[in-house]
């Protein structure tokens, strides 16, 4: 009789363990500019209630995240000299391919200031932003 209960407990454990694995998905991200060109070394950030993943894209502007826990994530993407994407909310519950277009910051924009490697400017909505310029 004890063996029968042990088998039931063991089978239940296996079912619960396997069902937990189904809550993991793979996500591919592509970060591009206005012309559709991949932005290499872009920073991509995924945040949910449990954790934050921060990574960089490859030389084609792509990155793959494997075994990501299914759920709602806030996503951010940034690249030098481009407007950043922040707090974009997305439900991830199956394998997905996401693409984010980052617009170039215009150096002719009004109120652009340069100071010790930082460029300060007004974005499209009139908010003041600062961008660290590479090589400064």
Whether 5 maps to a domain, the answer reads no
pLDDT the model gives residue 41: 94
Q: Is the pLDDT of residue 66 over 80?
A: yes
Q: From residue 72, how far is each of 19, 29, 92, 95 by CA, in Å?
A: 19, 16, 6, 14
Whether 14 maps to a domain, the answer reads no
Three-class SS state of 108: coil
Return the top range by mean pLDDT from 82-91, 100-109, 124-133: 82-91
Whether 117 maps to a domain, the answer reads yes
Q: Is the pLDDT of residue 11 over 50?
A: no
User: Which range, of 63-67, 91-95, 112-116, averages the lowest pLDDT?
Assistant: 112-116
Helices (H), the chain: 2-21
Q: Is the pLDDT of residue 77 over 60?
A: yes
Domain residues for the domain of 117 are 105-136
Indicate the pTM of the whole model.
Answer: 0.64
Statement to judge: residues 81 and 113 lie in one domain: no
What is the domain-level CATH number for residue 36?
Answer: 2.60.40.10
The per-residue b/e assignment along 17-31, b for 16 or more CB within 10 angstroms, e otherwise, is eeeeeeeebebebbb
Three-class SS state of 10: helix
pLDDT the model gives residue 59: 95
């Amino acid at each position: 009789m004890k063996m029968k209960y042990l088998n039931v407990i063991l089978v239940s454990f296996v079912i619960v363990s396997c069902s937990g694995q189904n809550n993991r998905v793979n996500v591919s991200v592509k970060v591009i500019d206005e012309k559709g060109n991949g932005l290499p070394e872009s920073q991509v950030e995924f945040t949910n209630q449990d954790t934050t993943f921060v990574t960089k894209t490859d030389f084609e502007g792509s990155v793959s995240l494997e075994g990501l826990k299914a759920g709602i994530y806030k996503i951010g993407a940034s690249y030098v000299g481009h407007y950043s994407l922040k707090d974009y909310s997305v439900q991830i519950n199956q394998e997905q391919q996401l693409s984010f277009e980052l617009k170039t910051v215009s150096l002719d924009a009004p109120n652009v200031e340069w100071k010790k490697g930082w460029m300060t400017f007004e974005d499209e909505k009139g908010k003041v932003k600062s961008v660290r310029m590479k090589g400064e």
